[in-house]
Structure 1
Amino acid sequence: MPSYLLALDASSSECSAALIRAEGEARECLARCEHTPRAHTQRLLPMVDEVLGEAGITPAALDAIAYGHGPGSFTGLRIAAGAAQGLAFGLDCPLVGVSTLEALALQAHRRFHFRHLVTALDARMSEVYVAAWHCQDDVPTLLDQEAVVAPARVALPGYETDWVGVGSGFTLWEQFDDVVRASMSQHLCDLEPRAEEMAWVGLRAFEAGTGQAPIDVQPVYLRNDVAWKKPA
Protein backbone atom coordinates (compact mmCIF):
# COMPACT_ATOMS: atom_id res chain seq x y z
CA MET A 1 0.00 0.00 0.00
CA PRO A 2 1.69 3.28 -1.05
CA SER A 3 1.87 6.31 1.18
CA TYR A 4 1.55 9.87 -0.07
CA LEU A 5 3.08 13.11 1.24
CA LEU A 6 2.13 16.52 -0.12
CA ALA A 7 4.45 19.53 0.23
CA LEU A 8 3.62 23.24 -0.15
CA ASP A 9 5.83 26.31 -0.31
CA ALA A 10 5.22 30.04 -0.77
CA SER A 11 8.24 31.43 1.09
CA SER A 12 9.80 33.29 -1.84
CA SER A 13 8.84 34.74 -5.22
CA GLU A 14 8.22 31.16 -6.37
CA CYS A 15 5.13 29.16 -5.48
CA SER A 16 5.31 25.37 -5.53
CA ALA A 17 3.63 22.10 -4.64
CA ALA A 18 4.95 18.54 -4.76
CA LEU A 19 3.64 15.06 -4.09
CA ILE A 20 5.71 12.00 -3.20
CA ARG A 21 4.39 8.48 -3.65
CA ALA A 22 6.35 6.04 -1.48
CA GLU A 23 5.96 2.27 -1.65
CA GLY A 24 8.70 0.19 -0.08
CA GLU A 25 12.00 1.49 -1.44
CA ALA A 26 10.34 3.04 -4.48
CA ARG A 27 9.87 6.82 -4.49
CA GLU A 28 8.23 9.03 -7.10
CA CYS A 29 7.82 12.81 -6.94
CA LEU A 30 5.44 14.98 -8.94
CA ALA A 31 6.04 18.73 -8.70
CA ARG A 32 4.83 22.14 -9.86
CA CYS A 33 6.78 25.39 -9.48
CA GLU A 34 6.02 28.86 -10.85
CA HIS A 35 7.49 32.32 -10.45
CA THR A 36 4.46 34.13 -9.00
CA PRO A 37 5.64 36.98 -6.75
CA ARG A 38 2.13 38.30 -6.01
CA ALA A 39 -0.13 35.39 -6.86
CA HIS A 40 0.64 32.71 -4.27
CA THR A 41 -2.91 32.67 -2.93
CA GLN A 42 -4.27 32.19 -6.46
CA ARG A 43 -1.85 29.44 -7.54
CA LEU A 44 -0.97 27.32 -4.49
CA LEU A 45 -4.15 25.26 -4.12
CA PRO A 46 -4.64 24.82 -7.90
CA MET A 47 -1.10 23.38 -7.97
CA VAL A 48 -2.17 20.94 -5.25
CA ASP A 49 -5.11 19.88 -7.43
CA GLU A 50 -2.75 19.44 -10.39
CA VAL A 51 -0.29 17.09 -8.65
CA LEU A 52 -3.09 15.11 -7.02
CA GLY A 53 -4.81 14.80 -10.38
CA GLU A 54 -1.61 13.68 -12.09
CA ALA A 55 -1.16 11.01 -9.41
CA GLY A 56 -4.79 9.95 -9.79
CA ILE A 57 -5.66 10.35 -6.11
CA THR A 58 -7.93 12.50 -3.96
CA PRO A 59 -6.83 14.46 -0.88
CA ALA A 60 -8.22 11.65 1.29
CA ALA A 61 -5.29 9.47 0.18
CA LEU A 62 -2.71 11.79 1.77
CA ASP A 63 -0.81 10.44 4.77
CA ALA A 64 1.05 13.65 5.66
CA ILE A 65 1.59 17.25 4.56
CA ALA A 66 4.87 19.17 4.61
CA TYR A 67 5.20 22.93 4.28
CA GLY A 68 7.98 25.50 4.11
CA HIS A 69 7.94 26.87 7.63
CA GLY A 70 10.57 29.49 6.98
CA PRO A 71 12.51 31.62 7.10
CA GLY A 72 11.28 33.69 4.20
CA SER A 73 8.57 36.12 3.19
CA PHE A 74 6.32 36.69 6.21
CA THR A 75 3.19 36.77 4.03
CA GLY A 76 4.25 33.74 1.99
CA LEU A 77 5.02 31.69 5.09
CA ARG A 78 1.57 32.39 6.48
CA ILE A 79 -0.05 31.43 3.16
CA ALA A 80 1.69 28.03 3.06
CA ALA A 81 1.19 27.36 6.77
CA GLY A 82 -2.49 28.27 6.58
CA ALA A 83 -3.11 26.09 3.53
CA ALA A 84 -1.22 23.15 5.05
CA GLN A 85 -3.01 23.52 8.36
CA GLY A 86 -6.43 23.70 6.74
CA LEU A 87 -5.79 20.59 4.66
CA ALA A 88 -4.36 18.66 7.61
CA PHE A 89 -7.28 19.54 9.87
CA GLY A 90 -9.76 18.40 7.25
CA LEU A 91 -7.88 15.17 6.52
CA ASP A 92 -6.79 14.46 10.10
CA CYS A 93 -3.19 13.90 9.04
CA PRO A 94 0.13 15.10 10.52
CA LEU A 95 2.13 18.12 9.40
CA VAL A 96 5.88 18.42 8.90
CA GLY A 97 7.50 21.86 8.94
CA VAL A 98 10.59 22.08 6.71
CA SER A 99 13.29 24.73 6.79
CA THR A 100 13.53 26.73 3.58
CA LEU A 101 17.29 26.93 4.10
CA GLU A 102 17.53 23.13 4.34
CA ALA A 103 15.39 22.69 1.23
CA LEU A 104 17.66 25.11 -0.62
CA ALA A 105 20.75 23.16 0.49
CA LEU A 106 19.21 19.89 -0.69
CA GLN A 107 18.31 21.42 -4.07
CA ALA A 108 21.89 22.58 -4.64
CA HIS A 109 23.29 19.24 -3.50
CA ARG A 110 21.01 17.19 -5.74
CA ARG A 111 21.42 19.39 -8.81
CA PHE A 112 25.13 20.21 -8.60
CA HIS A 113 26.54 17.67 -6.09
CA PHE A 114 27.85 20.40 -3.78
CA ARG A 115 28.71 19.08 -0.32
CA HIS A 116 29.64 22.13 1.77
CA LEU A 117 27.01 24.82 1.44
CA VAL A 118 26.03 28.15 2.91
CA THR A 119 22.40 28.94 2.14
CA ALA A 120 21.35 32.56 2.46
CA LEU A 121 18.06 34.28 1.65
CA ASP A 122 17.60 38.03 1.41
CA ALA A 123 15.85 39.07 4.64
CA ARG A 124 15.58 42.75 3.64
CA MET A 125 16.70 45.50 6.02
CA SER A 126 20.34 44.72 4.99
CA GLU A 127 20.21 41.25 6.56
CA VAL A 128 20.21 37.65 5.38
CA TYR A 129 18.72 34.42 6.69
CA VAL A 130 21.69 32.08 6.74
CA ALA A 131 22.85 28.57 7.65
CA ALA A 132 25.79 26.27 6.84
CA TRP A 133 25.38 22.63 5.79
CA HIS A 134 27.29 19.48 5.02
CA CYS A 135 25.39 17.41 2.45
CA GLN A 136 25.88 13.74 1.75
CA ASP A 137 23.60 11.10 0.17
CA ASP A 138 20.74 13.62 -0.19
CA VAL A 139 20.83 14.52 3.51
CA PRO A 140 21.80 18.09 4.58
CA THR A 141 23.27 18.27 8.08
CA LEU A 142 23.08 21.65 9.82
CA LEU A 143 26.50 22.81 11.02
CA ASP A 144 25.42 25.92 12.89
CA GLN A 145 22.24 27.56 14.09
CA GLU A 146 20.02 29.19 11.45
CA ALA A 147 20.12 32.94 11.98
CA VAL A 148 19.27 36.35 10.60
CA VAL A 149 22.29 38.69 10.50
CA ALA A 150 23.96 41.38 8.47
CA PRO A 151 26.07 39.81 5.67
CA ALA A 152 29.26 41.18 7.25
CA ARG A 153 28.54 39.13 10.38
CA VAL A 154 28.19 35.79 8.61
CA ALA A 155 30.94 33.43 9.78
CA LEU A 156 31.74 29.95 8.49
CA PRO A 157 32.19 26.90 10.74
CA GLY A 158 35.70 26.62 12.08
CA TYR A 159 37.34 24.36 9.56
CA GLU A 160 38.63 25.09 6.09
CA THR A 161 36.87 23.58 3.09
CA ASP A 162 35.55 24.48 -0.34
CA TRP A 163 32.29 26.32 0.39
CA VAL A 164 29.57 27.24 -2.09
CA GLY A 165 27.04 29.98 -1.40
CA VAL A 166 23.46 29.51 -2.59
CA GLY A 167 20.39 31.73 -2.48
CA SER A 168 19.13 35.27 -2.93
CA GLY A 169 21.13 36.47 0.06
CA PHE A 170 24.24 36.37 -2.10
CA THR A 171 22.96 39.26 -4.19
CA LEU A 172 24.56 41.16 -1.31
CA TRP A 173 27.92 39.49 -2.09
CA GLU A 174 30.02 42.62 -1.68
CA GLN A 175 28.75 43.05 1.89
CA PHE A 176 30.05 39.65 3.08
CA ASP A 177 33.29 39.49 5.02
CA ASP A 178 36.47 39.10 2.95
CA VAL A 179 37.34 35.83 4.71
CA VAL A 180 33.94 34.35 3.86
CA ARG A 181 34.17 35.40 0.22
CA ALA A 182 37.70 34.00 -0.07
CA SER A 183 36.47 30.65 1.30
CA MET A 184 33.79 30.27 -1.39
CA SER A 185 34.64 28.87 -4.79
CA GLN A 186 31.36 30.18 -6.19
CA HIS A 187 27.98 31.58 -5.25
CA LEU A 188 24.63 31.08 -6.98
CA CYS A 189 22.00 33.75 -6.40
CA ASP A 190 19.14 32.47 -8.52
CA LEU A 191 18.07 29.31 -6.66
CA GLU A 192 14.95 29.60 -4.48
CA PRO A 193 13.35 27.11 -2.07
CA ARG A 194 10.96 24.63 -3.69
CA ALA A 195 8.31 22.23 -2.46
CA GLU A 196 10.02 19.38 -4.32
CA GLU A 197 12.96 19.29 -1.90
CA MET A 198 10.63 19.98 1.03
CA ALA A 199 8.74 16.83 0.08
CA TRP A 200 11.92 14.74 0.31
CA VAL A 201 12.93 16.29 3.63
CA GLY A 202 9.37 16.00 4.91
CA LEU A 203 9.09 12.33 3.92
CA ARG A 204 12.25 11.49 5.83
CA ALA A 205 10.91 13.29 8.90
CA PHE A 206 7.47 11.70 8.59
CA GLU A 207 8.94 8.22 8.31
CA ALA A 208 11.00 8.99 11.43
CA GLY A 209 7.77 9.78 13.29
CA THR A 210 8.29 13.51 13.76
CA GLY A 211 5.00 14.78 12.30
CA GLN A 212 3.04 17.39 14.25
CA ALA A 213 -0.63 17.95 14.96
CA PRO A 214 -2.14 20.70 12.74
CA ILE A 215 -2.75 22.91 15.77
CA ASP A 216 1.01 23.12 16.33
CA VAL A 217 1.76 24.82 12.99
CA GLN A 218 4.04 27.80 13.52
CA PRO A 219 6.02 29.69 10.86
CA VAL A 220 9.70 30.27 11.67
CA TYR A 221 10.49 33.93 11.07
CA LEU A 222 13.94 34.01 12.77
CA ARG A 223 13.72 37.77 13.10
CA ASN A 224 12.28 37.24 16.60
CA ASP A 225 15.26 35.05 17.48
CA VAL A 226 17.77 36.90 19.65
CA ALA A 227 20.47 34.24 19.58
CA TRP A 228 22.49 36.40 17.19
CA LYS A 229 22.23 40.07 18.09
CA LYS A 230 22.73 42.97 15.72
CA PRO A 231 25.74 45.16 16.35
CA ALA A 232 25.02 48.05 18.70
Structure 2
Amino acid sequence: MVDSVLAEAQLTLTQLDALVFGRGPGSFTGVRIGVGIAQGLAFGADLPMVGVSTLAAMAQRAYNLTQSAQVLSAIDARMNEIYVGGFHCLENGDWVTIQEEAVLAPELLIQVFSERVQAFSMGAWSIAGTVWKAYPELASQLHLQISDSGVLYPEAQDMLVLAYHALARGEEVNAEHASSVYLRDTVTWKKLPNRK
Protein backbone atom coordinates (compact mmCIF):
# COMPACT_ATOMS: atom_id res chain seq x y z
CA MET A 1 0.00 0.00 0.00
CA VAL A 2 2.83 2.40 0.85
CA ASP A 3 4.53 1.57 -2.46
CA SER A 4 1.35 2.21 -4.44
CA VAL A 5 0.73 5.58 -2.74
CA LEU A 6 4.31 6.67 -3.42
CA ALA A 7 4.07 5.48 -7.03
CA GLU A 8 0.84 7.43 -7.51
CA ALA A 9 2.59 10.57 -6.23
CA GLN A 10 5.68 9.75 -8.34
CA LEU A 11 7.90 9.90 -5.26
CA THR A 12 10.25 7.62 -3.42
CA LEU A 13 10.33 7.27 0.35
CA THR A 14 13.66 9.09 0.58
CA GLN A 15 12.21 12.14 -1.20
CA LEU A 16 9.79 12.83 1.65
CA ASP A 17 10.46 15.48 4.29
CA ALA A 18 9.16 13.37 7.18
CA LEU A 19 6.82 10.54 8.07
CA VAL A 20 3.64 11.35 9.96
CA PHE A 21 2.17 8.81 12.36
CA GLY A 22 -0.92 8.59 14.50
CA ARG A 23 0.42 8.69 18.07
CA GLY A 24 -2.89 7.93 19.76
CA PRO A 25 -4.81 7.88 21.94
CA GLY A 26 -6.62 4.82 20.71
CA SER A 27 -6.46 1.05 20.66
CA PHE A 28 -3.23 0.01 22.37
CA THR A 29 -2.39 -2.61 19.77
CA GLY A 30 -3.46 -0.50 16.80
CA VAL A 31 -1.42 2.49 17.92
CA ARG A 32 1.66 0.34 18.57
CA ILE A 33 1.43 -1.32 15.17
CA GLY A 34 1.06 2.04 13.41
CA VAL A 35 4.03 3.56 15.24
CA GLY A 36 6.14 0.46 14.61
CA ILE A 37 5.49 0.42 10.87
CA ALA A 38 6.20 4.14 10.57
CA GLN A 39 9.42 3.73 12.58
CA GLY A 40 10.60 0.94 10.30
CA LEU A 41 10.01 3.06 7.22
CA ALA A 42 11.63 6.11 8.81
CA PHE A 43 14.72 4.15 9.90
CA GLY A 44 15.13 2.69 6.42
CA ALA A 45 14.81 6.05 4.68
CA ASP A 46 16.58 8.12 7.39
CA LEU A 47 13.53 10.36 7.81
CA PRO A 48 12.33 12.31 10.85
CA MET A 49 8.89 11.54 12.26
CA VAL A 50 5.98 13.69 13.37
CA GLY A 51 3.38 12.31 15.77
CA VAL A 52 -0.19 13.52 15.40
CA SER A 53 -2.97 13.14 17.93
CA THR A 54 -5.90 10.97 16.96
CA LEU A 55 -8.24 13.47 18.59
CA ALA A 56 -6.68 16.47 16.84
CA ALA A 57 -6.89 14.66 13.49
CA MET A 58 -10.61 14.23 14.10
CA ALA A 59 -10.89 17.94 14.85
CA GLN A 60 -9.17 18.72 11.56
CA ARG A 61 -11.61 16.40 9.74
CA ALA A 62 -14.55 18.17 11.39
CA TYR A 63 -13.12 21.53 10.35
CA ASN A 64 -12.66 20.34 6.75
CA LEU A 65 -16.30 19.24 6.61
CA THR A 66 -18.05 21.97 8.62
CA GLN A 67 -15.59 24.89 8.96
CA SER A 68 -16.14 24.71 12.71
CA ALA A 69 -13.09 26.25 14.37
CA GLN A 70 -13.80 24.67 17.78
CA VAL A 71 -14.07 20.93 18.07
CA LEU A 72 -14.52 18.57 20.99
CA SER A 73 -13.25 15.12 19.95
CA ALA A 74 -14.03 12.04 22.03
CA ILE A 75 -13.64 8.32 21.46
CA ASP A 76 -14.39 5.24 23.53
CA ALA A 77 -11.43 4.23 25.73
CA ARG A 78 -13.19 1.05 26.94
CA MET A 79 -13.50 0.17 30.63
CA ASN A 80 -16.22 2.86 31.03
CA GLU A 81 -13.87 5.69 30.09
CA ILE A 82 -13.43 8.03 27.15
CA TYR A 83 -10.53 9.79 25.46
CA VAL A 84 -11.33 13.47 24.98
CA GLY A 85 -9.65 16.66 23.76
CA GLY A 86 -10.87 20.14 22.82
CA PHE A 87 -9.27 22.13 20.01
CA HIS A 88 -9.47 25.61 18.47
CA CYS A 89 -8.33 26.36 14.91
CA LEU A 90 -6.35 29.56 14.41
CA GLU A 91 -6.56 31.77 11.33
CA ASN A 92 -3.31 30.29 9.97
CA GLY A 93 -4.79 26.77 10.09
CA ASP A 94 -2.82 25.66 13.13
CA TRP A 95 -4.61 24.35 16.22
CA VAL A 96 -4.35 25.16 19.91
CA THR A 97 -5.54 22.88 22.67
CA ILE A 98 -8.39 24.22 24.80
CA GLN A 99 -9.03 20.98 26.69
CA GLU A 100 -5.91 18.88 27.26
CA GLU A 101 -6.28 15.31 26.07
CA ALA A 102 -7.44 13.11 28.90
CA VAL A 103 -8.94 9.76 29.71
CA LEU A 104 -11.86 9.99 32.09
CA ALA A 105 -15.25 8.66 33.01
CA PRO A 106 -17.97 10.06 30.72
CA GLU A 107 -19.78 11.72 33.63
CA LEU A 108 -16.65 13.75 34.47
CA LEU A 109 -16.55 15.31 31.01
CA ILE A 110 -19.32 17.75 31.85
CA GLN A 111 -17.49 19.14 34.87
CA VAL A 112 -13.97 19.18 33.39
CA PHE A 113 -14.84 20.54 29.97
CA SER A 114 -17.46 23.07 31.08
CA GLU A 115 -15.01 24.65 33.54
CA ARG A 116 -12.33 24.85 30.87
CA VAL A 117 -14.59 26.37 28.24
CA GLN A 118 -16.02 28.93 30.66
CA ALA A 119 -12.46 30.03 31.48
CA PHE A 120 -11.96 30.81 27.78
CA SER A 121 -15.48 32.21 27.14
CA MET A 122 -15.79 30.16 23.96
CA GLY A 123 -18.80 30.11 21.63
CA ALA A 124 -20.14 27.32 19.41
CA TRP A 125 -18.52 23.90 19.28
CA SER A 126 -18.62 20.97 16.89
CA ILE A 127 -18.34 17.41 18.18
CA ALA A 128 -16.45 14.52 16.59
CA GLY A 129 -15.94 10.89 17.54
CA THR A 130 -17.81 7.76 18.53
CA VAL A 131 -18.55 8.80 22.13
CA TRP A 132 -21.45 11.06 21.14
CA LYS A 133 -23.38 8.10 19.74
CA ALA A 134 -22.46 5.80 22.66
CA TYR A 135 -23.42 8.48 25.23
CA PRO A 136 -26.01 10.65 23.44
CA GLU A 137 -26.87 12.64 26.57
CA LEU A 138 -23.34 14.02 27.00
CA ALA A 139 -23.48 16.73 24.35
CA SER A 140 -26.68 18.29 25.71
CA GLN A 141 -25.34 18.20 29.28
CA LEU A 142 -22.42 20.46 28.29
CA HIS A 143 -24.88 23.36 27.96
CA LEU A 144 -23.05 24.73 24.93
CA GLN A 145 -24.04 25.55 21.38
CA ILE A 146 -23.05 22.25 19.76
CA SER A 147 -23.34 20.81 16.27
CA ASP A 148 -22.49 17.26 15.22
CA SER A 149 -19.78 17.17 12.55
CA GLY A 150 -20.64 13.58 11.64
CA VAL A 151 -16.98 12.62 12.05
CA LEU A 152 -16.55 9.29 13.82
CA TYR A 153 -12.91 8.40 13.12
CA PRO A 154 -9.67 10.12 12.11
CA GLU A 155 -8.43 9.96 8.53
CA ALA A 156 -4.81 9.94 7.43
CA GLN A 157 -5.23 12.88 5.05
CA ASP A 158 -6.27 15.13 7.94
CA MET A 159 -3.00 14.45 9.74
CA LEU A 160 -1.04 16.31 7.05
CA VAL A 161 -2.19 19.81 8.04
CA LEU A 162 -1.34 19.09 11.67
CA ALA A 163 2.04 17.64 10.72
CA TYR A 164 2.84 20.63 8.51
CA HIS A 165 2.44 23.01 11.46
CA ALA A 166 4.29 20.65 13.81
CA LEU A 167 7.22 20.55 11.38
CA ALA A 168 7.21 24.34 11.17
CA ARG A 169 7.49 24.42 14.98
CA GLY A 170 10.40 21.95 14.89
CA GLU A 171 8.49 19.15 16.61
CA GLU A 172 9.85 16.29 14.49
CA VAL A 173 11.79 13.51 16.21
CA ASN A 174 14.23 10.81 15.15
CA ALA A 175 12.60 7.44 14.55
CA GLU A 176 13.99 5.96 17.77
CA HIS A 177 12.23 8.69 19.77
CA ALA A 178 8.81 8.32 18.15
CA SER A 179 6.35 7.15 20.75
CA SER A 180 2.69 6.56 21.28
CA VAL A 181 0.37 8.36 23.68
CA TYR A 182 -2.08 6.16 25.55
CA LEU A 183 -3.21 8.60 28.30
CA ARG A 184 -4.05 5.66 30.56
CA ASP A 185 -1.19 4.89 32.95
CA THR A 186 -2.25 1.45 34.11
CA VAL A 187 -4.51 -1.27 32.84
CA THR A 188 -5.58 -4.23 34.93
CA TRP A 189 -6.55 -7.39 33.12
CA LYS A 190 -8.55 -10.11 34.80
CA LYS A 191 -8.04 -13.72 33.80
CA LEU A 192 -11.10 -15.66 32.83
CA PRO A 193 -12.08 -18.49 35.17
CA ASN A 194 -10.19 -21.74 34.52
CA ARG A 195 -7.52 -19.98 32.42
CA LYS A 196 -3.82 -19.98 33.19
Q: TM-score range by the shorter chain?
A: 0.7 to 0.9
Are residues 1:168 and 2:130 paired? yes
CA contact (8 A) 2:63 2:69 kept: yes
**TM-score scaled by length of structure 1:** 0.71
Equivalent position of 2:41 in the other structure: 87
Are residues 1:213 and 2:174 paired? yes
Q: Give how far 1:198 is off.
A: 1.0
The letter of the residue matching 1:222 is L
Q: Give how far 1:123 is off.
A: 1.0
Please identify which structure carries the higher helix content. 2
Q: Which runs of 5+ in 2 are unaligned?
A: 187-196
1:97-176 correspondence runs (5 A): 97-137=51-91, 138-154=93-109, 155-156=113-114, 157-158=117-118, 159-174=121-136, 176=138
- Cα deviation code 1:137-178 (max 9, x no counterpart): 332210121101111111232135222211112123345275
Equivalent position of 2:156 in the other structure: 195
Q: Give how far 1:81 is off.
A: 0.2
When the two structures are aligned, how many residues end up with a matched partner?
A: 178
CA contact (8 A) 1:70 1:100 kept: yes
The letter of the residue matching 2:181 is V
The runs of at least 4 aligned residues of structure 1 exceeding 4 Å deviation read none
Q: Give how far 1:119 is off.
A: 0.6
Give distance in 1, aligned partners of 2:171 and 2:28.
24
Give distance in 2, aligned partners of 1:55 and 1:74.
31
Identical counterparts, % of pairs: 37
Give distance in 1, aligned partners of 2:85 and 2:133.
16
- Cα deviation code 1:57-114 (max 9, x no counterpart): 2212122101000001111101110011001111111111111111111111122101
Equivalent position of 1:11 in the other structure: none
What SS does the aligned partner of 2:84 have?
strand
Give distance in 1, aligned partners of 2:73 and 2:139.
15
Q: Give how far 1:216 is off.
A: 0.6
The letter of the residue matching 1:56 is Q
Give distance in 2, aligned partners of 1:184 and 1:124.
27
